[in-house]
Structure 1
């Protein structure tokens, strides 16, 4: 499974990273609190809030933006 890019949208010291793959799957690695870190979940685009999609697109490297927007079904 080929990785396109990783985008971190952590707003504080808790990790919140999304990994996008060429087969249009999205993996999220996040911390809920300091003792519960590196949780992993696989997401469908509709499970990601509009607010987080905005953050992901803003943080996305320019060369991947079009691809990531397609995967996220954004806007």
Structure 2
């Protein structure tokens, strides 16, 4: 498995929503649909992430990793 770059949380209210970025450009999302459905996992391609969520991810990304994460997200 490739090395993890970082995990960024864009959780809203009490529901979790975390994206983990890997050096091989894979993106893992762990999220909660609702309080009874926690920690669901899916693997995403950049085009499957909304522009709004990409904006949130870049805003929350550590400055030293921003360029690398932007490249993976094909942002902007």
TM bracket, shorter-chain basis: over 0.9
Residue of structure 1 equivalent to 2:13: 12
TM-score, structure 2 normalization: 0.97
Partner of 1:28: 29
1:54-65 → structure 2 map (5 Å cutoff): 54-65=55-66
Q: Within 2, Cα distance between the matches of 1:4 and 1:60?
A: 11
SS at match of 1:40: strand
Structure 1 gap segments, 5+ residues each: none
Deviations 1:31-60 (A, max 9, x none): 001110000000000000000000000000
CA displacement at 1:11 relative to structure 2: 1.4
RMSD (CA atoms): 0.4
Distance (Å, rounded) in 1 between the aligned partners of 2:61 and 2:67: 10
Q: What SS does the aligned partner of 2:36 have?
A: coil
Alignment correspondent of 2:68: 67
- Tell me the TM-score normalised to structure 1 length: 0.99
Please identify runs of 4+ aligned residues in structure 1 that moved more than 2 A: none
